[in-house]
Structure 1
Amino acid sequence: MTSDSPEPTAVSAPAESQQQQPKQQQLKQQQPLAWTHKAARAFSSPTIYPPTLPYECGGAREYSSYLLYALILGVPYMLKRIFGFSLGTYFVLTAILALPIGGLSLLAHSWIVSAPTEQICALPNEPLESYITILDKELKAKYHGGSKIPMELFFESYFDGDIDLNGDALTIFEKRYDWAFFPITIRVAKFFVLQWIPELLWHSKKQDETQVRDHYDRGDDFYAAFLGGRMVYTSGLVGDPSKRETLEELQDNKMRDVCERMQMRPGDRHLDIGCGWGTLVSFAAKNYGTESVGVTLGRNQTAFGNQRAAQWGVGDSARVLCMDYRDIPRRPRYHRITCLEMAEHVGVRKFQEFLLQVRDMLEDDGLFYLQIAGLRGAWQYEDFSWGLFMAKYIFPGADASCPLNWVIGQLETAGFEVRTTETIGVHYSVTLGRWYENWMGNKEQIMKKYGKRWFRIWEIFLAWSIIIARQGSSTCYQILAHKNRNAFDRSALMRQPIGYGMSSGSG
């Protein structure tokens, strides 16, 4: 392994991003507003984008499962009594109506739920006009002063140009609970039923290809405007919380961490599924001597990745192929398989099939590294709003973002043993913050080429996601696994306990 990371040679972070640093530093250094709990402490790391109003939203804790069960059993029973249905018909009705009743109860509850009483901060109760300017007359007549606007209605109207922000998006979103709330609207429910569920159930090769190419073949300059020179569209890792590392340092930290966890060695056959622009493929080949192959459906990503491998001098040992993951040749097997934030797009229905394919492609003594975005089980309604926004605008088809217990269960069912698991949501928040700074620094060039709507969609995505990842609504898991075989050398993965070698104070 070489001590220095390869320098970016293809696409660099635009210079305009540097001009935003003073402004963004001011955003980072804002003090929390009206925190009332004595135990609340400011975030200590200068690399974190700290909250100014960490308010809690209603959700799973306020939603009564007992009431849900009563509705699922009671509504069909009422129909049975009214129409004189038989007992068998009652059971059939109960099975048919359970899902619609559950969905409607969730929708209704999202409009009436109260915020949890346990809060560490108080809302400032500023008028809506302090945060946003509504340009549409009908919308303005309905939402003004002390009223709050549904978040879904806000961002749809903002994208359409019917609302403007009164300042920086991140600053305003940090105080979103003072001007917005998070009900499940009819439009959200319609998207969920008519698009999200069919995509979840289908996930054909053609569907995945269309979604990926529509998204990632938009233009490399579009993504370079926030990803910078490394062109890595996954979470970086903070190496030193006591300082403010650059985006490139965060991503180099992550790529080294992956390669070290995977114990990559010269000559290892390495497969990166969903490799994006192929940076990890070239990085592993250059720094660890691997024979690395990346797979993506993006045509632009394929061309970029192979060009980068050539520029970094590893064109013979690193290559990117444009193909569906289901078409990857299974022989010869690979010593190391990585999959960084692509498995979400496999989908819930196909996930077990995907893992069985990975297991078949992996050598018996090989290692599998899965980095996957996930959601917290103790959900809040804001989590739903953000998740469906992401599914509609940012990552369509990525329905396998689930709580950690589901992912672990899938891995174990497929015959893997999970060796280590890390939750890196706070690292993702920092990474998203650097992306946001780059994006805002390139506002003019993006709007000139791609228009105001595309700029605003990514502006909201990045600003809101900084908060979502920091507060745990959505996070990211790093999972190291191997085949669960009796002969596997588990001692090769042993590590020293934290604090090993320190005095116990008892001798």
Structure 2
Amino acid sequence: MTTESEPKPKEWTAKLAKAFSSPTIYAPTLAYECVGAREYSSYILYGLVVLTPYMLKRLLGFGWLTYIIVTALLALPIGALSLLLFSWVWPQPTDQTCALPNQALETYMTILDKELKAKYHGMSKIPMEVFFESYFDGDIDLAGDALTMFEQRYDWATFEITWRQAKFFLFQWIPELLWHSKKQDETQVRDHYDRGDDFYAAFLGDRMVYTSGLVGKLGERETLEQLQDNKLRDVCERMQMCPGDRHLDIGCGWGTLAAYAAKHYGTESVGVTLGRNQTAFGNARAAEWGVGDSAKILCMDYRDIPRRPRYKRITCLEMAEHVGVRKFQEFLLQVRDMLEDDGLFYLQIAGLRGAWQCEDFVWGLFMAKYVFPGADASCPLNWVVGQLETAGFEVRTSETIGIHYSVTIGRWYENWMKNKDQITKTYGKRWFRIWEIFLAWSVIIARQGSSTCYQILAHKNRNGFDRSRLITKPMGAQ
């Protein structure tokens, strides 16, 4: 209940949108909350993880050592199932700052499948997973623009985790997390990135950079190319790149950063990727930019990178997620071994918020299935920092750039929609629709903090490292 001095729900929505208004940022039109970590009791989870195996112990009569093993094996499935049930039964949070439009489902979509239409119509809501699977299969058409529709998603969708998603999590996501062999990584990367350069150019544009750009001028509507140039320059400046520096870019994509550093900062850059198409594109670009001798793109697994001679600068932009949780420490130890004692390591990595909402998991499972398979090392910042410190790094700076990512993905979405006819003709309606939903939804996901991106500058934690050269002026200092 609101008082005269408090904004009413619809008024608040308008005020919120105005507060976010910017020529460059995609403003929220419905900042509605979803249930999540605040409502999900960790104590109940811990109790289930401990007591369920204990009940099996009492029932089957096995010993304490077996109990410990069973508890370790069942912890993740029990956690997943408890989250599944929680997402079904818990009501929406009551501390909302805006009201839903309460429009009929038909306002947002046209359901073509008769059985589906009989179940979801009028004021009923459709589970998000059911929606996007049906949309990809051609059983649903959108009534308007996907991004506009997703801004209103709480009015037409629910975010329970479905049995189909639970099955994917238990029988595909977990095995991939536990394995992460070279063959698995190679298959996933090449199936994804060797689809065709024209597919990615349709949204990445001329720079062919598949990572977050940076907003430089909030009061202007910067182009995608400006956003990516801002980021490329920022990385090189943070890394204090100088002529002759040996620079390694792990997971270099189409090689733009390696070529940029060689061209503008005089580095001897090596980029590494598993993508065959990316390798060919990157070497061609380096030659086109006149740095074919100082920027080389190699097609190989990161585990096979020669460790000597060492590198003065090592960058890794949104590839480490694909290393996997199980291999992450091993990867960081390899990076440390390849880095000179006075060198710098730049890690840009997509991550998740610790105080999650149910939507975060539904989106994450969608991404794991359709967009970035095997990228299971997207974790909260404290986990990433802990891994770096355990591997012997000192974290110098950390930036959270989710809002920059939202802007970047928004530009990707606009490009994708402009190239709809071309993509549909070459790759079919299904592939177009998967990326349409991925990009539209991710504009919002990155903006609201469900998934974000961290820029981390680190160096070896050694007494002899000259930390003074990384000192920056305090904000506002003359």
Q: TM-score range by the shorter chain?
A: over 0.9
Structure 2 unaligned runs (5+)? 1-7
Using the alignment, how far apart are the partners of 1:341 and 1:96 within structure 2?
30
Using the alignment, how far apart are the partners of 1:294 and 1:87 within structure 2?
52
Alignment of 1:360-399 (within 5 A): 360-399=337-376
Instruction: State the shift of 1:72 in Å.
Output: 3.6
Using the alignment, how far apart are the partners of 1:304 and 1:100 within structure 2?
42
Contact 2:13–2:31 under 8 Å retained in 1: no
- Call closer, same or farther: CA 1:486–1:159 in 2, change over 3 Å: same
For residue 164 of structure 2, give the secondary structure of its aligned residue in structure 1: helix
Matched, 1:461 2:438: yes
Alignment of 1:62-461 (within 5 A): 62-76=39-53, 83=59, 85=61, 88=64, 94=71, 97-461=74-438
- After TM superposition, the structure 1 stretch with the greater mean CA deviation from structure 2, 61-70 or 445-454, is 61-70
Contact 2:279–2:298 under 8 Å retained in 1: yes
Contact 1:383–1:473 under 8 Å retained in 2: yes
Contact 1:216–1:300 under 8 Å retained in 2: yes
- Which of 27, 30, 45 is the equivalent residue of 1:53? 30
Q: Which amino acid aligns with 2:88?
A: W
Instruction: Provide the TM-score with structure 1 as the length reference.
Output: 0.89
Instruction: State the shift of 1:73 in Å.
Output: 4.2
- Provide, for residues 356-393 of structure 1, a one-character-per-residue CA deviation record: whole Å limited to 9, x for no partner: 00001001100000000000000001000111111111
Contact 1:377–1:403 under 8 Å retained in 2: yes
- After TM superposition, the structure 1 stretch with the greater mean CA deviation from structure 2, 340-349 or 68-77, is 68-77
- After TM superposition, the structure 1 stretch with the greater mean CA deviation from structure 2, 64-73 or 402-411, is 64-73
Aligned residue pair count: 469
For residue 10 of structure 2, give the secondary structure of its aligned residue in structure 1: coil
For residue 428 of structure 2, give the secondary structure of its aligned residue in structure 1: helix
Contact 2:31–2:97 under 8 Å retained in 1: yes
Matched, 1:34 2:14: no
Structure 1 unaligned runs (5+)? 1-31, 502-507
Contact 1:35–1:122 under 8 Å retained in 2: no
Contact 2:246–2:311 under 8 Å retained in 1: yes
Instruction: State the shift of 1:75 in Å.
Output: 4.1
Instruction: State the shift of 1:94 in Å.
Output: 5.0
- Call closer, same or farther: CA 1:320–1:38 in 2, change over 3 Å: closer
Using the alignment, how far apart are the partners of 2:9 and 2:146 within structure 1?
17
Bigger relative CO (Cα 8 Å, ≥ 6 apart): 1
For residue 61 of structure 1, give the secondary structure of its aligned residue in structure 2: coil
Using the alignment, how far apart are the partners of 1:65 and 1:433 within structure 2?
35
Contact 1:33–1:52 under 8 Å retained in 2: no
Q: Which amino acid aligns with 2:195?
A: R
| 2:447 corresponds to | 470
Using the alignment, how far apart are the partners of 1:233 and 1:277 within structure 2?
9
| 2:5 corresponds to | none
Using the alignment, how far apart are the partners of 1:459 and 1:328 within structure 2?
35
For residue 387 of structure 1, give the secondary structure of its aligned residue in structure 2: helix
Contact 1:136–1:163 under 8 Å retained in 2: yes
Using the alignment, how far apart are the partners of 2:237 and 2:60 within structure 1?
67
Identity of aligned residues (%): 81
Instruction: State the shift of 1:93 in Å.
Output: 5.7
- Which of 450, 455, 458 is the equivalent residue of 1:481? 458
- Call closer, same or farther: CA 1:353–1:91 in 2, change over 3 Å: closer
- Provide, for residues 383-440 of structure 1, a one-character-per-residue CA deviation record: whole Å limited to 9, x for no partner: 0011111111101000000000000000000000000000000000000000000000
Using the alignment, how far apart are the partners of 2:182 and 2:408 within structure 1?
31
For residue 420 of structure 1, give the secondary structure of its aligned residue in structure 2: strand
For residue 193 of structure 1, give the secondary structure of its aligned residue in structure 2: helix
| 2:468 corresponds to | 491
Instruction: Provide the TM-score with structure 2 as the length reference.
Output: 0.95
Using the alignment, how far apart are the partners of 1:226 and 1:189 within structure 2?
31
Using the alignment, how far apart are the partners of 1:410 and 1:218 within structure 2?
33
Using the alignment, how far apart are the partners of 2:283 and 2:60 within structure 1?
69
Instruction: State the shift of 1:119 in Å.
Output: 1.2
| Aligned-CA RMSD value | 1.8
